[in-house]
Chain A
Amino acid sequence: MLNFYGVEIASRLLLGTAQYPSPAILADAARASGTEILTVSLRRESGRLREGQDFWGLIADLGVRVLPNTAGCHSVKEAVTTAQMAREVFGTSWIKLEVIGEADTLQPDVFGLVEAARILTSEGFEVFPYTTEDLVVAERLLDAGCKLLMPWGAPIGTGMGLNNVYGLRSLRAHFPDVPLVIDAGIGRPSHAAAAMELGYDAVLLNTAVAKAGDPVAMAGAFARAIEAGRAGFLADPIEPRDMAAPSTPVFGRASLA
Chain B
Amino acid sequence: MRVTVLGAGVAGLTSALELVRRGATVTIVDRAAALGAGACSWSAGGMLAPWCERESAEPVVATRGAVALDWWDEATGAVTRHGTLVVAPPRDSAEFTRFARRTERYETIDGDRVAELEPDLAGRFRAGLFFPDEGHLEPRGALAALERSLRERGVMFRYGVEADPAEVGDDAVVDCRGFAARDALPDLRGVRGEMLVVRTDEIRLSRPVRLLHPRIPFYVVPRAGGVFMLGATMIESAERRGATARSVVDLLNAAYALHPAFGEAEILEVRADVRPAFPDNLPRVERRGRTTYVNGLYRHGFLLSPTCAQQAAEIATRPEDTSHEADRERRRA
Contacts and interface: CB of A to CB of B under 8 A. Distances in A.
Are chains A and B native binding partners rather than an unrelated pairing? Answer: yes
Interface of A: 21-25, 27, 44-48, 51-52, 54-55, 58, 157, 159, 211, 213
A46 B56 contact: no
B250 to A, nearest CB: 10
Contacts of A24: 278-281
A125 B330 CA distance: 46
A213 B280 CA distance: 16
A170 B94 CA distance: 31
Given A27-B279, A46-B239, A54-B236, 19 more contacts: A21-B56, A21-B58, A22-B279, A22-B281, A23-B281, A24-B278, A24-B279, A24-B280, A24-B281, A45-B236, A47-B192, A47-B237, A52-B238, A54-B190, A54-B238, A55-B189, A58-B189, A159-B94, A211-B98
Nearest to A19: B56
A44 B239 CA distance: 12
Interface string B279-298: 11110000000000000000
A20 to B, nearest CB: 9
Q: Which of A27, A52, A58 has the largest number of chain B CB atoms within 10 A? A: A52
A47 B241 contact: yes
A20 B244 CA distance: 23
A44 B279 contact: no
A22 B241 CA distance: 23
22 contacts: A21-B57, A21-B281, A22-B280, A22-B281, A22-B282, A23-B189, A23-B280, A24-B280, A45-B236, A45-B237, A46-B236, A46-B237, A47-B241, A47-B244, A48-B241, A51-B238, A52-B237, A52-B238, A55-B189, A55-B236, A55-B237, A213-B102
A98 to B, nearest CB: 15
B235 interface: yes
B189 A213 contact: no
Contacts, number: 56
Contact of B239 (A21, A25, A48, A157): A48
B190 A44 contact: no
Contacts of A51: 190, 237-239
Interface string B137-154: 000000000000000000
Interface of B: 56-58, 94, 98, 101-102, 189-190, 192, 214, 235-239, 241, 244, 277-282
B75 to A, nearest CB: 29
Contacts of A25: 280
Given A21-B57, A48-B241, A58 B281 contact: no
Given A22-B281, A24-B279, A54-B189, A213 B235 contact: no
Contacts of B238: 51-52, 54
Contacts of A52: 236-239
B46 to A, nearest CB: 22
A33 B277 CA distance: 25
A47 B280 contact: no
Q: Which of B101, B236, B239 has the largest number of chain A CB atoms within 10 A? A: B236
A221 to B, nearest CB: 17
Contacts of B278: 24
A27 B281 CA distance: 13
Contacts of B277: 22
A159 to B, nearest CB: 8
In the A-B complex, the 6 residue pairs with the smallest Cβ-Cβ separation, listed nearest first, are A47-B239, A54-B189, A22-B281, A55-B236, A51-B239, A24-B280
A47 B194 CA distance: 12
B195 to A, nearest CB: 16
Contacts of B192: 47
A58 B279 contact: yes
Contact of B235 (A21, A23, A44): A44
B8 to A, nearest CB: 25
Contacts of B98: 211
Contacts of B281: 21-24
A86 to B, nearest CB: 15
A32 to B, nearest CB: 16
A159 B244 CA distance: 30
Nearest to A103: B215
A192 to B, nearest CB: 19
Q: Which of A27, A44, A58, A159 has the largest number of chain B CB atoms within 10 A? A: A44
A144 to B, nearest CB: 29
A159 B94 CA distance: 10
B270 to A, nearest CB: 15
Contacts of B214: 157
Contacts of B244: 47
A187 to B, nearest CB: 10
Contacts of A159: 94
A90 to B, nearest CB: 15
Nearest to A210: B56
A44 B57 CA distance: 22
Contacts of A211: 98
B232 to A, nearest CB: 15
Contacts of B236: 45-46, 52, 54-55
A58 B280 CA distance: 11
A60 to B, nearest CB: 13
Contacts of A21: 56-58, 281
Nearest to B102: A213
A184 B229 CA distance: 34
